[in-house]
């Protein structure tokens, strides 16, 4: 955490973190000796580096002329073509003519698929894979817009897209043998010499595994997001080396780079607020609980979040970088699996379960994977009530215990008690991800010491999946506390919950998110499987009164606040299924909304309109 913090403007990046004048003003105001640009926003902007130096503040990074030459991906390709012809480039276009028409023309000269890339930045922003010419114009316009919002420049370059490559944040790569690694290293060193490069930089190459040929991709004039894995196996502190170079130190004469020995294997994953099952679209929310495992050997968390942190629409969706280091790759994978299972994050949808499914996948274990891995592997298992029974019971028990604890009168009378025979009591939830209803039918059998006993059944409403199995449940008094996140108005119980079910023991972290008097979400983290599920409990009267509308009208809403970028199908347009209706922007990412059926569009928003979460965007009426 910073010793001092200064306000530099509103959350919109163009008015704050991309505003060089404000940043330099704060540096002078605070008496800072230097500015470290990090690895986003203005970190590869040569004009910013120039202004910092002109303000007599040290810029912790390469010289502005180096950033101008190699940090801009278009300029980099021109430089290599002229000065380092031995370094192969990916076929493509990197010219100055940036009109949409010229980009379309050049893309069609390259065999599809092609990759559109922002020239001024990285991290996947302003990047689009295009598989056919009919998609070109709209994808070029979308990539330009996203690049401008992320980096302040809408310049694009076009490259041949290799469909069978790897993008894995681990080292050493299982796909690269020692001779190939040495060849890549030598190419990077030679490029640095040609540039008279000073400071940290990351050379990236693409490897065609069929031919074993590699191509220059880019040189990022900054720390890479995945730099912790380099630090883990080398023992070097790259940020410390950056600071030393900025102070004028010579790393060679200091002996810091002599005899670097790489030890073991390191893997990094990015824990992001996104929904992998919804095309990895970002999600917003309030973190109710953030509890990474502590004191584990070879584990590193880089993060800035805590309980109550808001994941907003204005910045990247990354919550934390998780890095593990172990003697071998097998041990590193096992360690990452264990860390992911023990990391508790409640309150916002994340890719945690998806990351865990990768770490447990046999093909990932073998090292024989590429960028088609997600499409080819079954990483999104279908809804299965049997596998969710224990988590559903945990959600039910927290809900029951909360109501039990809040009883004021007749505390010795069981909840729901009647003096006539009645059917078993029921609690109904909706699983947020699958939008699947689950129901717990239960009978409270009483309390003995600090234990509560139940007989219950968990049902999904699908006869072929439901088992006529009576569950005998013994809940130990939960260690939960009433929490309130005052900034967002969220309250609810959270803590550890243990119980026995048919003789087996279970342990979960549970957290309630109560925003309305009768509606609440219950987040359940299973320490055994590492899975997290969100159960939404609706007030029964309210859920009946707000029954689903006639399916002939399909409403389209957004799960988070956003800005409408473009209306693609105005009111009155007749569309077919999968026709793009509009594009929205949230968390620096452009998202297209497609029609789920054929019909007539009724658009409810306008271009550039700011829209709240869950607001109605449009409807498609098939009548």
Nearest to 513 by CA among 485, 481, 476: 485
Sheet holding 156-160, edge to edge: 92-93, 156-160, 114-118, 128-130
C-alpha to C-alpha distances, 48 to 17, 65, 195, 218, 480, nearest whole angstrom? 11, 12, 20, 20, 50
Alpha-carbon distance of 75 to 67, in angstroms, equals 10
225 dihedral zone (left: phi>0; alpha: psi -120 to 50; beta): alpha
- Token representation of residue 441: 């039918």
Measured in residues, the chain has a length of 623
Contact 113, 371 (CB under 8 A): no
DSSP per-residue letters across 496-513: EEEEEETTEEEEEEEEEE
Which H helix or E strand runs over 64?
Answer: helix 64-66
For the chain, helix, strand, coil in percent to 5 are: 25, 30, 45
Q: β-strands 58-59, 34-35: how paired?
A: parallel
Contacts of 469 (CB under 8 A, 6+ apart): 457
C-alpha to C-alpha distances, 387 to 254, 396, 442, 501, 531, nearest whole angstrom? 57, 16, 19, 14, 10
Q: Which residues of 55-74 are buried (b: 16+ CB within 10 A; e: fewer)?
A: eebbbbbbbbebbbbbbbbb
Contact 489, 515 (CB under 8 A): yes
Alpha-carbon distance of 539 to 70, in angstroms, equals 58
Contact 438, 399 (CB under 8 A): no
16 dihedral zone (left: phi>0; alpha: psi -120 to 50; beta): alpha
- DSSP state at residue 308: T
Exactly one of 222, 270, 283, 335 is catalytic; name it: 222
Alpha-carbon distance of 41 to 9, in angstroms, equals 15
484 catalytic? Reply is no
Alpha-carbon distance of 282 to 296, in angstroms, equals 29
- SS3 for 54? helix
Q: β-strands 589-594, 599-603: how paired?
A: unpaired
Provide the β-strand partners of residue 584.
564, 591
Nearest to 376 by CA among 386, 364, 389, 366: 364
Q: Which residues of 419-433 are buried (b: 16+ CB within 10 A; e: fewer)?
A: eeeeeebebbbbbbb
Contact 415, 445 (CB under 8 A): no
Contact 567, 603 (CB under 8 A): yes
CA 285 to chain CA centroid, nearest Å: 13
- Token representation of residue 410: 């007749």
Alpha-carbon distance of 623 to 617, in angstroms, equals 19
Q: Which residues are catalytic?
A: 222
């Amino acid at each position: 955490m910073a010793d001092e913090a200064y306000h530099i403007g509103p959350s919109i990046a163009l008015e704050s973190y991309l505003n060089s004048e404000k940043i330099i003003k704060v540096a002078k105001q605070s008496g800072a000796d230097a500015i470290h640009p990090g690895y986003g926003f203005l970190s590869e902007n040569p004009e910013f580096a120039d202004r910092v130096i002109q303000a007599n503040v040290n810029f912790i990074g390469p010289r502005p002329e180096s950033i101008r030459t190699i940090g801009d991906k278009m300029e980099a390709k021109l430089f290599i073509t002229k000065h380092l012809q031995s370094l192969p480039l990916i076929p493509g276009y990197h010219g100055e003519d940036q009109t949409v028409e010229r980009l379309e023309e050049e893309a069609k000269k390259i065999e599809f698929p092609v990759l559109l890339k922002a020239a001024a930045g990285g991290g996947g922003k302003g990047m689009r894979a295009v598989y056919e010419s009919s998609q070109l114009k709209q994808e070029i316009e979308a990539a330009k817009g996203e690049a401008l919002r992320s980096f302040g420049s809408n310049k694009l370059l076009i490259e041949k897209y290799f469909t069978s490559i790897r993008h894995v944040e681990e080292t050493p790569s299982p796909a690269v043998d020692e001779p190939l690694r040495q060849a890549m290293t030598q190419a990077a060193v030679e490029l640095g010499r040609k540039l008279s490069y000073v400071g940290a930089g990351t050379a990236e190459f693409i490897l065609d595994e069929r031919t074993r040929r590699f191509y220059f991709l880019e040189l990022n004039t900054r720390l890479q997001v995945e730099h912790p894995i380099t630090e883990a196996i080398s023992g070097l502190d790259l940020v410390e080396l950056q600071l030393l170079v900025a102070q004028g130190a010579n790393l060679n004469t200091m002996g810091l780079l002599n005899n670097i020995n790489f030890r073991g294997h390191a893997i990094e994953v990015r824990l992001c607020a996104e929904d992998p099952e919804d095309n990895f679209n970002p999600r917003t929310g309030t973190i109710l609980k953030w509890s990474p495992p502590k004191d584990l050997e070879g584990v590193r968390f880089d993060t800035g979040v805590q309980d109550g942190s808001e994941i907003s629409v204005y910045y990247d969706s990354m919550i934390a970088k998780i890095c593990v280091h172990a003697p071998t790759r097998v041990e590193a994978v096992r360690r990452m699996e264990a860390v992911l299972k023990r990391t508790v994050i409640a309150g916002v949808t994340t890719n945690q379960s998806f990351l865990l499914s990768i770490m447990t996948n046999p093909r990932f274990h073998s090292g024989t994977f590429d960028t088609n891995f997600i499409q080819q592997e079954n990483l999104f298992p279908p809804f299965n009530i049997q596998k969710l029974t224990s988590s559903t019971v945990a959600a039910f028990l927290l809900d029951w215990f909360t109501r039990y604890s809040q009883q004021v009168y007749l505390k010795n009378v069981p909840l729901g008690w009647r003096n006539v025979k009645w059917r078993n009591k029921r609690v109904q939830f909706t699983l947020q991800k699958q939008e699947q209803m689950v129901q717990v039918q239960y009978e409270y059998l009483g309390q003995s010491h600090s234990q509560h006993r139940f007989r219950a059944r968990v049902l999904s409403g699908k006869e072929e999946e439901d088992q006529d199995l009576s569950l005998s449940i013994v809940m130990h008094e939960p260690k939960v506390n009433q929490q309130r996140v005052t900034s967002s108005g969220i309250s609810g119980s959270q803590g550890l919950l243990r119980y026995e079910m048919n003789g087996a023991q279970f342990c979960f972290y549970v957290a309630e998110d109560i925003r309305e008097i009768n509606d609440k979400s219950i987040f359940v983290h299973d320490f055994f499987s590492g899975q997290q599920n969100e159960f939404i409990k609706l007030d029964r009267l309210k859920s009946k009164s707000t029954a689903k509308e006639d399916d002939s009208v399909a409403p389209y809403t957004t799960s988070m606040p956003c800005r409408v970028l473009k209306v693609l199908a105005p009111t009155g347009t007749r569309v077919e299924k999968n026709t793009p209706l509009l594009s929205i922007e949230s968390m620096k990412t452009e998202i297209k909304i497609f029609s789920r059926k054929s019909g007539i569009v009724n658009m409810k928003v306008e271009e550039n309109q700011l829209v709240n979460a869950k607001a109605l965007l449009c409807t498609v009426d098939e009548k």
